[in-house]
Amino acid sequence: MSAHASTIVAQPTRVVPGFLAATMPPSLSAMPKAQSTPAADPLAAITQVKVMDREQPIFAEGDAADALFRVVDGVIRLYKLLPAGRRQIIGFLQAGDMMGLAFAERYLYSAEAVTATTVQRISRAQLDDLLDAQPSLARKLLSVTTSELVAAQDQMLLLGRKTALEKLASFLLALSERAGGKRLVGVPMSRSDIADYLGLTTETVSRGFTKLKTSRLIRILDGGKVELLDHNALADLADCA
């Protein structure tokens, strides 16, 4: 099941494709947000809240896809293990994002908490009953899943045609966009996580952060924070493909 969604860039409610996920697809507002009131959120009555510790697995690739999940807070990584045993991160999810929406029998990727995370678990069987009772909700879910092709295309561009520094600039701008255009963004992922997402080595990611810092494009702060000092210069760099 699971073939969804989004990664870290756009805005509240996104999905992740089971094969590739993007960092920056368009925002999706078709589904109710996790913070919605029960009256406005038809999924609220069938959700179970689960609190996950940092690095705790949520589900593994190949597990029976008997539920979908919506992120309330925290950050989740989605990844696949390649034949040689290498990890490819296909997306990072934040509050409002959903995973497991595709109707497959088994999850097509694994999901783990990057930080302490709260998720809502929605039983597939209960969701099926709700969709039968509320056809309009089924249409909204279908609308959400149409972002998958765009997400995959964005990720292929990010991995295929950009240099390491361009990829890193794109990633930071994506985080800023997701945060509403703020200059100060949270980067709770490790350098290794970012490398496995961007198709780089950990050393290359570390050198990239150092280069952006010495070029006075960013400032690296304590607590996993990065300040974007020159948004326009980063955008110019990210657009070079």
| Mean pLDDT (whole number) for 17-29 | 32
CATH of residue 49: 2.60.120.10
Query: Which of 2-16, 19-33, 78-92 has the highest mean predicted lDDT (pLDDT)?
Result: 78-92
User: How confident is residue 33, by pLDDT bands cut at 50, 70 and 90?
Assistant: very low
Taking the model in full, what pTM does it have?
0.79
Q: Are residues 100 and 177 in the same domain?
A: no
Instruction: Choose one of 155, 175, 202: the last residue of a domain.
Output: 155
Helix (H) or strand (E) segment spanning residue 16? strand 16-17
> Residue 30 burial by CB count (10 A; 0-12/13-18/19+): exposed, middle or buried?
middle
In this model, does residue 210 exceed pLDDT 70?
Answer: yes
Instruction: Choose one of 155, 183, 217: the last residue of a domain.
Output: 155
Alpha carbon distance 212, 80 (integer Å)? 29
Report how many domains make up the chain. 2
Task: Confirm if 175 and 8 have CB atoms less than 8 A apart.
Answer: yes
Task: Confirm if 213 and 203 have CB atoms less than 8 A apart.
Answer: no
Of 141, 163, 121, the C-alpha closest to 30 is 141
Amino acid sitting at position 105: E
Alpha carbon distance 15, 13 (integer Å)? 7
Q: Are residues 91 and 136 in the same domain?
A: yes
User: How confident is residue 20, by pLDDT bands cut at 50, 70 and 90?
Assistant: very low
Residues 6+ apart with CB under 8 A from 135: none
Q: Are residues 51 and 122 in the same domain?
A: yes
> What's the domain range around 143?
4-155
Q: Are residues 25 and 127 in the same domain?
A: yes
Q: Are residues 89 and 179 in the same domain?
A: no
Q: Are residues 121 and 226 in the same domain?
A: no
| Res 9: pLDDT | 36
Q: Are residues 35 and 61 in the same domain?
A: yes
Instruction: Choose one of 155, 172, 196: the last residue of a domain.
Output: 155
In the chain, which residue ranges form alpha helices assigned H by DSSP?
124-133, 135-145, 148-160, 164-178, 191-198, 202-214, 231-239
Q: Are residues 196 and 221 in the same domain?
A: yes
Q: Are residues 167 and 145 in the same domain?
A: no
CATH of residue 185: 1.10.10.10
| Res 96: pLDDT | 86
